[in-house]
Each structure stands twice: as C-alpha cells, then as structure tokens.
C-alpha cells in the first residue's frame, strides 16, 4: 500500500526543486559568457509573478486551451511519480515502467500542441507543428536508449534499473542518447531556444505564446518538472546511487545532497552545450536526432556484447 | 442438425468467437449511427437497400470468421467482398465512387485468386476442404510446398489487410463508402484478413520456418511507416483515417509476425504473449478506428466537406462530436490511460522480451523494430494533433464549417458507445489480457492454462529476474488526482481577472481564418524530412497583369505516390499492352475460332493422358 505522505512529499520535492535546475543552467550559461546573469532563484520569481497576475485568453479559444495547462501539469507530475527519490521503490509502486513514461510525456505534449492550434494564431500552429515533428523523431532514439538499458538490466522497471545497474559502456552510451533526447524534449539549443521569441526559431515558446498568468505558470512548472525527471533518469544511469534512509538524519541529508548533486553536472553539461553550439535549422533536427538514434544503437550493441 | 452445422462452422472455438465479438462491437454502434446518418442524405428506397447490404455485409463477415470449411470460407469471403463493393459505390452520383469501386474489386480479386490457389494446393494434400483434415495433412507436407502456400496466403490476405505495397485500394475505397460502412470496413473487414492469416498459417499450416515471421515483421514495419507518413500528408479526413488503417494493420501484423517467429523457434510463452498484444491491438483498432470514422462522418454530414483545409472551429458548434473525436484521437495516438496505449505498450514489451530471449543479430533487429514502432507512434500523435486541431479547433475556414450543427441523437449514441469502449478497454486491461490468453491459446493450439499472463509479471527467464509493472486504473487515478490538484491550486490561489481578447496578431488587427495554420503547413516539416520517400514537388506561378505588376500567385504542392507510380502504373501499362497484342487472336473468322476449340481439346486430351 503506497504511503500518501511519501507521495505528497515526493511531488513536493519535484515541484520545489525543479525550477532551480533551470535557474542553475541559466546561471552557468551566463557565467560562461562572462556575464553575471540572473539570480539562481529567478524561475521562482517568474512563477510567483505569473501566479499573481490576471490572464488574457484568446477569444477564439475553446475549452481545450483552458484545460490543456492542467493536463500538461498533471502528466509531468505523473511522470515524476515513476522516478524513485527517497526509497528504492517508486512512491507509487506498480503504476508503470520506463516505456509507459514515454507515453505519459506524450500525453502532456499532445494537449499542449492542441492548445497551440486552438488560438488560431500562426505562431501557435508553427510551434505545434515543430514540436510534434521534433518529438516524433525523438521517439525512436528514446526507445533505442530504453532498449539498451533494458538489455543490460533485463527489465524496464525504473526502480529495478536504478537498483541493479552499475556503470558500463552501454549505460554511458544510452545515457548520451537520453541526453540528446532530453535536449530536444526540454526545448534547448541546438533544437530550440528558450531565450528568444523569434518566429523563425521558436518551438516551445511559440506554442505557449498566447498563454499568460497562472495557466502559463502551470505550463512552465510542468516543463521544469519534466526536465528534472529526464535529468534524474540520466544521472542515475551515469552515476548509479541510491540514497540511504535508515541511517542517521545527517546521512539522509548527505545522500539526498549527492542524489540531487549529480544534477549539477548534468546542468553544467547542458549549459556548456547551449553556449557552444548555434541553433540548427529545424529540418536538421532529423540529423541531430538521427545521431541520438545511432547512439542508442551503439548502446544496444555494447549491451549485447556485455560491455 | 447441429452435426451438420458443426461440420461447416466452428461453433465453440474461442478464436472465432473473439472475432465475432469484434465484428459486433463495431457493427452495433454503426447500425445505430446509420439511422441518423442516412436520413436526409438518401431516398427512403436507397436507405432500405443500404440496410439490407449492411446486414449482408455483417453476416458474411460473421460466417467468414466461423467457417470450418474452405469452400464455405471462400464463398462467404467473396460475398463479403462483393457486398462491400456495392457499399463502396453506394454514392453512385459521384464518379469517384465508381473508380474507387473498380480499384477495390480488381485488387480484392487478385487477392482472392491467390487464396484460391493456396487452398487448392492444400486440398490436393488433404483430399478434403475441412480445416481439421487439412491441418492433419499439413504435418506431412514438404517444406517447399509449405513455403509456397505461405507466400500465397500472405499475398491473398495481405491484399485484403492492406499491407504495403498491396494497400493501394484501401485509401481509395474505404473513404468512398458511407461513413458507417467505412467504420466497419476499416475497423473490422480488414481484420478478417488477419483472422485468415492466423487461422491458415499459424493454426492449420503450422509455422516451421523462422523467416516467415521475419518477412511478416519487415512488411509490417514498412506498412506502419508508409501508412503513417502518407496519413500525415493527407488532408481528406476520411482518407487520413484510411491510411492510419494501413499503419495499424502494420502494428497488428508486427505482433503476429513476432508470434510466428517465436512459434518457429519453439518459445510458446512468448508466442502467445505476442499474439495477445496483436489481438489486443486488433480489437482496440476496431474500436477507435470505428469511432473516428463515425466522427468523420458526422463532420461530413454537418459541414458538407471532408477537406480539413475547409473545416475548423467545429468544437464550438459540434461539442459532443469533438469530444468523441478527441477520445478516438488520443486512443489511436497511444496516450494513457486509453486502450491504444495498452496494446502498443504490450507490443513494445513483446519486442523487448523477444530481444532478451534470442541471440546476436536478432536482438538488434527486434530493438530496431521496436524503435520503428515508437517512431510510428510519434508520427501518429503528430498526425492526430493535425487532424483534431485543424478540423475542430481555432476558427472555421469556410462558410459551411461555420454553419455546421451538432448531429442527431442516434449518431451521437453510436459514437458514445465506441468512446466508452475505448475507455473501458484501457482501464480493464488486466481482465482483457486474461481473456485474450484463452483466445490466443485457441489460435495457436497451445495450452495456455499453465502460463500466467498479466500486466504485472514478465518474469520470463532467469536473467530477467525483475518484474515490470503497469496498472491502468492506478495510472488513470493518479492522472485524475493530479489534474484535480492542479485545478485546486488554480482555484484556491484566489480569483484573478481573466480578459477575453483577440489573438496576438503583431498589430495587424485583421486576423482571420486565412491567417491560421493549415494542414499543409502543419505537415511541412514531415514532408521535408521524409522527402526521400514522398518525393514532393511544387509549382509556383506568377499571374501577371503586366510585366511590372504581379496580381496573384498560384501555388501547388504534391507528393509523388511512389507505389502507384513505380509499381502499379507500369504493371497496368504492361497489362494493357498484353491485352492489345492478344487482340490479334480475334480477327472475326469463325473457322479460326473452330480451330482454337479443336486445338484446346487436343492439348487438354494430351494433358489428361500425361498427368
């Protein structure tokens, strides 16, 4: 029987911690560019600001536009339930596995893409079309990465993967494939640019262009959570650790600190990638994600060879 | 009397009963739907004809899946094809219908010819048309003959199922029939081919070469991808759905091919598991494709067009149809917690488990197949964002779309029933799998009593100690709770001002439906990324008033139908050439004709004496 307290605590950690990762990436990016940059806590300020503001809703929009942010938010949090943090088991045991997680992400994306079309704005349509294009091409790469992990661990169950798999070449290659997919899924360079609102380049921002106020806040929070889920999965595959709980409180703190500390390395990698590459043309996304797919195949080959 | 019945019909075969269930779960709501759909569109006499044809169609399918005798099977197979031909050409006012019917009837008879050939060879060995006798005879059949029979059956049933490259008739014929018939054709009729393939190849013939399964998997992967890519390019909403049938038949046959492979390498548990995944997807596809065709029919009836570029904004004028279409779109895009998600997840698991339990190259092959299935899923989701978004959301793109009205009660009832099924078959997955285990046991002739199938237990081999879990009710519950939590946060954080205002138009102040994104634009990235397959071309033309003044532009874009252009058109040309040269045999001289008769008799006599 799952413990409701644990679930609430788990979800709370994701909601509270997730924006920090984005703040961190942005801070590292700015520092790499020799700028001071915004505060680490800026994403929180943004969310607070959005939450206190009123909304403007397009008069052509239907209930899809109004409901989509909640669907996006729920699907991101539901994905968070798949990833264990405090215990070796997931907070909601038996709800689903790694493959189901892919479909959960698809659920949120589906509604966001529909909402973008709902406003009758060309920007929304553009964003929607591009998002579905990129995510469709990311799907085989993601599946291949999961496949490699599956071959190595013999299961697609996330807690078992977390518990059983040590470091290996195939794991690293699979993590690289996952990383590239995560770049695409979290709308980062070189496939998308979170920092601009240029119609030639924007993907995610174009989709949410008509949103404002609390609905926008929910969507932003959902993207932070999705990002954290993906990064945690990658971190666990590169640096497999499980936090200890039965030990003294100080140790709990230390193990949790390392559990989340690994994210700093991932965040730094993302930031480094973002400052060092230029935005690709949309149609070159096929090359980028094709590379991720091939990386996934290499990971599977390594897993077959047992390395 | 029962003795005679059971001689010709399989009365207590779980596999046949399953298909009867599939037939009736789609036919029932389609029948209810047809009352509202046909009313007003046709004269009362034609509505009666439609009703009779409908009944004949459903009954012939029911006989096909319960026949225990090749002759009964073939006769009703033919009746099914002919009745559906009459339904395809039901709209005789449209020239398109006649052409669609022509393509359909030619293709379906080519398929039937292959079937007759295969069944005759089987008869030659068994000396009987009964399934049980043929099954016994097939055990002693030489491998070479078996291979040939398999290929003939594959061509015959493949034509009916619409696997690439034999799919050519499907997107032409299915959309042309009245919508409740399209829903049965796509939802059920093409499944009778899957039934036939499993019944004749797995149950009767018996799989003993691994390459059968591999061949089927490769064809299925091609069908999946080609089907979904063509669907993405399509703007006729019913044609789009028909192409998705090609894709989904591919997914079903992936699982069937996997089952055949596992049978040939003697892994009964995995074989049954794959077939469960396939049969689950089969019934799911029947439900959501039936639903989507009914919804498309509703749109067609109230907006008068199937062209998505002229639709839009229907969610406001047809709110209920929109919800049903959304449920269908979510189910076919494999979104949790609906039914399509479960079967696609099972199929992926079947591939993964297959890879775990085979060696070397097969591992990678199955992995890549799984990845292609994932790509298909991603593209299908994109396609249904397009289909729902362009048709139902934003502003109406034409007067008729603006004036569309919600459809009548009987049509809504049909759609409601299938939507409810899509939800139920998602949430009750654990139960469905248990039932399907029995069905698939009957189909493969294996004993499944000792095999435990559930969503939660895939502890198959020693190396796979860990288990996999999936609980649909739990997933649905957590999604619902989180949705409610999100809404609660929204409500509890106090009220803020919500202003309704025009969509941001960059200060243009004249945003109208022409500024909306179109279906063509939506699919542009895909057209470019898959240009190696679609071979798109475009024509732009400047219409000038004078040398200096261009008054307007004409712009056209098309994709090349690869299979039609490079396979069917040359073939057709060759047939016509052959026919032309044959014409020389017919000069009109009666003496020559008598000579032909004599010659034929002579050759036949020699033939009979020799063999």
Residue B505 CA, chain-centre distance (Å), reads 41
**The pLDDT value given to residue B536:** 87
Partner-chain contact B483 A143, CB within 8 Å? no
Contacts of A282 in chain B (CB under 8 A): 525
Question: What are the tens digits of pLDDT across the range B131-172?
Answer: 888 888 888 888 888 999 999 999 999 999 999 889 989 999
Helix (H) or strand (E) holding B498: strand B498-501
Question: Which of A78, A164, A213 is nearest residue B466 as measured by Cβ atoms?
Answer: A164
From B516's Cα to the closest Cα of chain A, the distance in A is 5
Q: Which of A1, A47, A96, A282 best tests the B interface by mutation, with the highest count of B CBs <10 A? A: A96
Closest-CA distance, B530 to chain A, in angstroms, reads 10
For residue B499, what is the nearest residue in chain A, using CA coordinates?
A56
Neighbouring C-beta atoms of residue B581, cutoff 10 Å: 9
Q: Hey, are the CB atoms on B498 and A55 less than 8 Å from each other?
A: yes
Nearest to A140 among B336, B375, B518 (CB): B375
| Cα–Cα distance measured from residue A165 to residue A241, given in angstroms and rounded to the nearest whole number | 10
Short-list A180, A143, A165, A172, CA closest to A299: A172
What B212-216 contacts at long range (C-beta under 8 Å, 24+ apart), as own/partner pairs, is B212/B150, B212/B257, B212/B260, B212/B261, B212/B264, B213/B257, B213/B258, B213/B259, B213/B260, B213/B261, B213/B262, B213/B263, B213/B264, B214/B257, B214/B261, B214/B365, B215/B154, B215/B257, B216/B154, B216/B253, B216/B256, B216/B257, B216/B260
- For residues B388 and A90, the model is more confident at B388
DSSP-derived letter for residue A55 is E
A81, A210, A301 ranked by CB distance to B478: nearest? A81
With cut-offs at 50, 70 and 90, classify the pLDDT of residue B1.
Answer: low
Q: Are strands B498-501 and B536-544 parallel, antiparallel or unpaired?
A: unpaired
Closest by CA to A274, choosing from A207, A171, A196, A198, is A196
State the DSSP H helix or E strand holding residue A25, giving kind and residue range, or none if neither.
Answer: helix A4-32
What size, in residues, is chain A? 307
Can you tell me the distance from the alpha carbon of A81 to that of A159, in angstroms, rounded to the nearest whole number?
11
Contact B496 A214 (CB under 8 A): yes
Q: How far is B470 from chain A (nearest CA, A)?
A: 4
Predicted confidence band at B462 (pLDDT cuts at 50, 70, 90)? very low
- Report pLDDT digits (tens) over B225-272: 999 999 999 999 999 999 999 999 999 999 999 999 999 998 888 899
Q: Decide: B87 and B173 in contact? Cβ < 8 Å.
A: no
> Would you say residue B388 has pLDDT above 90?
yes
In whole angstroms, what is the distance from residue A275 CA to residue A220 CA? 22
B368 chain-A contacts, CB cut-off 8 A: 144, 297
**pLDDT higher than threshold 90 for residue B296:** yes
pLDDT at position B55 over 80? yes
* B543: confidence class by pLDDT, cuts 50, 70, 90: confident
Q: Do B371 and A141 touch (CB under 8 A)?
A: yes
Shortest CB distance from B504 goes to which of A107, A113, A121? A121
- In terms of Cβ atoms closer than 10 Å to its own Cβ (0-12, 13-18, 19+), residue A5 is exposed
- What does DSSP say about strands B550-559 and B536-544: parallel, antiparallel, or unpaired? antiparallel
Instruction: Give the residue-averaged pLDDT of B101-121.
Output: 92
DSSP B304: S
Band (B279; pLDDT cuts 50, 70, 90): very high
Contact A157 B466 (CB under 8 A): yes
Alpha-carbon distance A178 to nearest alpha carbon in chain B (angstroms): 14
Residue of A nearest to B524 (CA): A129
Alpha helices in B89-209 (DSSP H): 95-126, 131-138, 143-161, 170-173, 179-184, 190-197
- Taking contacts as CB-CB distances below 8 angstroms, the residues of chain A near B466 are 153-155, 157, 160, 164
* B486 dihedral zone (left: phi>0; alpha: psi -120 to 50; beta): alpha
pLDDT grade for B461, boundaries at 50, 70 and 90: very low
Nearest CA in chain B to A161: B466
Using alpha carbons, select from B254, B158, B247 the residue that is nearest to residue B200.
B158
Give the Cα separation of B451 and B441 in Å (integer). Answer: 10
Q: Are B352 and A147 in contact (CB under 8 A)?
A: yes
Question: Would you give the distance in Å from CA A193 to the centre of its chain?
Answer: 15
Q: Residue B460 — very low, low, confident or very high, per pLDDT cuts 50/70/90?
A: very low
Structure tokens belonging to residue B14: 């779980």
Which of A100, A153, A293 is nearest residue B371 as measured by Cβ atoms? A293
- Band (B2; pLDDT cuts 50, 70, 90): low
Angle at B137 between CA B134 and CA B139, to 5 degrees: 120
> Contact at 8 Å (CB) between A139 and A246?
no
Phi, psi angles (nearest 5°) of residue B58: -65, -45
Q: Would you write out chain A's pLDDT as a tens digit for each of its 307 residues?
A: 577 888 888 888 889 999 999 999 999 999 999 998 889 999 999 999 998 998 999 888 899 999 999 999 999 999 999 888 777 777 787 788 899 999 999 999 999 999 999 988 888 999 999 999 999 999 999 999 999 999 888 888 888 888 777 788 888 999 999 999 999 999 888 888 888 888 778 899 889 999 998 999 999 999 999 999 999 999 888 887 765 555 556 666 777 777 778 889 999 999 999 999 988 888 888 999 999 999 999 999 999 888 8
Cβ neighbours, 10 Å, residue A191: 26
Q: Distance (Å, rounded) from C-alpha B607 to C-alpha B557?
A: 57
The answer to whether A160 contacts B499, with C-beta atoms less than 8 Å apart, is: no
Q: Retrieve residue A228's tokens.
A: 């954290």
Q: What are phi and psi of B144, to 5 degrees?
A: -60, -45
pLDDT at B361 (0 to 100): 85
Residues forming a β-bridge with A274:
none
Residues of B in contact with A147 (CB under 8 A): 352, 355, 367, 370-371
**Dihedral sign of CA atoms A296, B356, B255, B143 in order:** positive
The per-residue pLDDT for range B114-140, each reduced to its tens digit, is: 999 999 999 988 888 888 888 888 888
What is the structure's pLDDT at B464?
Answer: 43
CB contact under 8 Å between A128 and B389, yes or no, is yes
DSSP structure string for B89-119 = TT-TT-HHHHHHHHHHHHHHHHHHHHHHHHH
| Average pLDDT of the residues of chain B | 89
Predicted local confidence at residue B6, as pLDDT: 74
Output the six-digit token pair for A184: 């695409």
Alpha-carbon distance of A263 to A24, in angstroms, equals: 10
* CB distance B246 to B163 below 8 Å: yes
List Cα–Cα distances, B285 to B127, B176, B220, in angstroms. Answer: 38, 20, 15
pLDDT exceeding 90 applies to what percent of chain B? 55
- Is residue B479 over pLDDT 60? yes
- Which residues of chain B does A125 touch, with a Cβ-Cβ cutoff of 8 Å? 389, 516-518, 521-522
Helix B268-303 to helix B409-427 angle (10° resolution) is: 160
Cβ neighbour number for residue A290 with a 10 Å cutoff = 15
Average pLDDT rounded to a whole number, residues B335-347: 92
Binary contact (B469, A143; C-beta < 8 A): no
Which of B316, B374, B384 faces A140 most closely, judged by CB atoms?
B374
- For the record, the structure tokens of B607 come out as 């033939």
- The alpha carbon of residue B522 is apart from the nearest alpha carbon of chain A, in Å, by 5
Name the minimum distance, in Å, from the CA of A54 to any CA of chain B.
Answer: 5
Inter-chain CB proximity A60 and B394 less than 8 Å: yes
Phi, psi dihedral angles at B561 (to 5 degrees): -75, 95
Is pLDDT of B611 > 70? no
**How far, in Å, CA of A157 to CA of A145, rounded?**
14
Contact, A223 vs B502, CB < 8 A? no
Please answer whether residues B281 and B350 qualify as being in contact, where contact means their C-beta atoms are separated by less than 8 angstroms: no
pTM value surpassing 0.90: yes
Test mutation, B321, B346, B348, chain A, max A CBs within 10 A: B348
B469 contacts in chain A (CB < 8 Å): 93-97, 157
Q: What is the pLDDT of residue B105?
A: 92
Nearest by CB: A70 against B330, B487, B523:
B487
DSSP H or E stretch at residue B576: helix B569-582
Contacts of B463 in chain A (CB under 8 A): 154
Q: Which two tokens stand for residue A230?
A: 């993906």
pLDDT of residue B459: 39
Pick A110's closest partner by Cβ from B385, B470, B515.
B385
Confirm if B155 and B111 have CB atoms less than 8 A apart: yes
Size of interface A-B (CB pairs under 8 A): 281
User: How far apart are the CA of A270 and the nearest CA of chain B, in angstroms?
Assistant: 25
Which pLDDT score, from 0 to 100, does residue B458 have?
46
- Kindly list the residues from chain B whose CB atom is less than 8 angstroms away from the CB atom of residue A148: 367
pLDDT value at position B183? 93
Give me A136's structure tokens: 């469709």
* Cross-chain residue pair A155–B378, CB shorter than 8 Å: no
Which residues on B lie below 8 Å from A156 (Cβ)?
349, 352, 468
ipTM metric: 0.94
Contact list, B381 vs chain A (CB under 8 Å): 106, 109-110, 132, 135-136
Q: Token digits for B541?
A: 């033309």
Residues of A in Cβ contact (< 8 Å) with B471: 94-96
Give residue B9's pLDDT: 78
């Amino acid at each position: 029987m799952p413990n409701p307290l644990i679930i609430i605590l788990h979800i709370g950690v994701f909601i509270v911690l997730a924006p920090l990762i984005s703040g961190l990436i942005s801070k590292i990016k700015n520092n790499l560019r020799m700028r001071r940059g915004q505060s680490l806590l800026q994403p929180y300020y943004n969310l607070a600001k959005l939450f206190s503001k009123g909304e403007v809703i397009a008069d052509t929009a239907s209930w899809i536009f109004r409901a989509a942010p909640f669907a996006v938010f729920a699907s991101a949090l539901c994905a968070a339930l798949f990833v264990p943090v405090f215990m070796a088991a997931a907070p909601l045991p038996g709800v689903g596995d790694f493959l189901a997680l892919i479909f959960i992400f698809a659920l949120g994306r589906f509604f966001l893409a529909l909402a973008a079309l709902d406003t009758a704005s060309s920007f929304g349509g553009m964003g929607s079309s591009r998002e579905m294009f990129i995510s469709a091409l990311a799907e085989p790469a993601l599946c291949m990465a999961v496949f490699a992990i599956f071959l190595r661990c013999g299961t697609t169950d996330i807690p078992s993967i977390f518990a059983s798999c040590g470091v290996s070449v195939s794991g690293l290659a699979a993590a690289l494939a996952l990383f590239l997919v995560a770049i695409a899924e979290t709308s980062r360079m070189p496939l998308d640019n979170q920092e601009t609102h240029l119609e030639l380049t924007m993907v995610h921002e174009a989709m949410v262009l008509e949103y404002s106020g609390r609905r926008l806040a929910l969507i932003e929070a959902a993207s932070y959570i999705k990002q954290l889920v993906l990064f945690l999965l990658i971190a666990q595959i590169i640096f497999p650790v499980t936090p200890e709980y039965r030990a003294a409180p100080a140790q709990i703190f230390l193990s949790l600190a390392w559990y989340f500390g690994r994210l700093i390395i991932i965040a730094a990698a993302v930031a480094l990638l973002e400052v060092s590459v230029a935005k690709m043309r949309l149609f070159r996304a096929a090359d980028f994600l094709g590379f991720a797919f091939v990386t996934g195949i290499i990971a599977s080959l390594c897993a077959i060879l047992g390395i | 009397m029962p003795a005679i019945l059971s001689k010709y019909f399989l009365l207590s075969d779980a596999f046949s009963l399953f298909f009867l269930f599939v037939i009736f779960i789609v036919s029932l709501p389609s029948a209810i739907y047809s009352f509202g759909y046909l009313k007003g569109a046709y004269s009362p006499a034609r509505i009666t004809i439609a009703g009779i044809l409908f009944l004949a169609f459903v009954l012939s399918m029911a006989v096909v899946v319960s026949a225990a005798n090749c002759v009964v099977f073939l006769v009703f197979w033919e009746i099914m094809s002919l009745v559906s031909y009459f339904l395809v050409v039901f709209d005789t006012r449209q020239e398109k219908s006649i052409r669609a019917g022509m393509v359909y009837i030619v293709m379906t008879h080519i398929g039937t010819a292959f079937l007759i050939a295969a069944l005759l060879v089987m008869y030659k060995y068994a000396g009987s048309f009964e399934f049980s006798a043929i099954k016994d005879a097939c055990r002693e059949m030489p491998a070479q003959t078996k291979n040939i029979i398999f290929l003939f059956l594959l061509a015959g049933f493949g034509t009916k199922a619409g696997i690439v490259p034999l799919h050519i008739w499907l997107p032409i014929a299915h959309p042309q029939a009245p919508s409740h018939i399209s829903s049965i054709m796509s939802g059920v009729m093409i499944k009778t081919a899957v039934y036939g393939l499993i019944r004749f190849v797995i149950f009767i013939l018996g799989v003993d070469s691994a390459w059968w399964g591999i061949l089927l998997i490769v064809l299925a992967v091609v069908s999946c991808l080609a089907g979904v890519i063509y669907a993405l390019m399509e703007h006729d909403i019913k044609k789009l759905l028909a192409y998705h049938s090609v894709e989904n038949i591919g997914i079903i046959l992936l699982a069937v091919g996997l089952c055949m492979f596992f049978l040939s390498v003697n892994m009964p548990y995995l074989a049954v598991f794959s077939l469960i995944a396939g049969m689950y997807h089969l019934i799911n596809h029947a439900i959501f494709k039936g639903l989507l065709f009914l919804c498309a029919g509703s749109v067609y009836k109230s907006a008068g067009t199937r062209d998505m570029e002229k639709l839009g904004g229907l969610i406001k004028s047809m709110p209920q149809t929109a919800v049903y279409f959304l449920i269908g779109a979510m189910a076919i895009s494999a979104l949790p917690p609906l039914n399509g998600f479960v079967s696609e997840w099972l199929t992926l698991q079947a591939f993964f488990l297959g890879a775990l339990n085979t060696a070397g190259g097969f591992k990678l092959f199955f992995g890549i197949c799984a990845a292609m299935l994932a790509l298909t899923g991603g593209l299908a989701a994109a396609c249904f964002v397009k289909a729902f978004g362009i048709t139902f959301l934003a502003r109406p793109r034409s007067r008729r779309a603006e004036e569309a009205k919600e459809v009548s009660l009987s049509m809504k009832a049909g759609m409601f029933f299938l939507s409810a099924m899509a939800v139920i078959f998602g949430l009750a997955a654990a139960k469905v799998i248990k039932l399907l285990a029995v069905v698939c046991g009957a189909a493969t002739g294996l004993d499944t009593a000792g095999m435990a199938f559930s969503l939660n237990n895939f502890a198959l081999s020693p190396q796979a100690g860990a288990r996999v879990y999936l609980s649909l009710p739990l997933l649905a519950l957590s999604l619902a709770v989180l949705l409610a939590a999100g809404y609660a946060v929204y409500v509890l954080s106090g009220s803020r001002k919500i202003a309704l205002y025009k969509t941001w138009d960059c200060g243009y102040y004249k945003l109208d439906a022409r500024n909306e994104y179109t279906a063509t634009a939506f699919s542009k990235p895909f057209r470019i990324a898959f240009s190696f397959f679609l071979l798109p071309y475009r024509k732009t033309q400047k219409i000038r008033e004078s040398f200096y003044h261009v008054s307007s532009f004409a712009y056209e874009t098309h994709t090349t139908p690869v299979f039609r252009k490079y396979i069917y058109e040359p073939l057709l040309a060759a047939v016509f050439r052959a026919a032309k040269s044959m014409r020389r045999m017919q000069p009109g001289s009666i003496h020559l004709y008598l000579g032909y008769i004599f010659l034929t008799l002579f050759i036949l006599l020699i033939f009979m004496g020799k063999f």
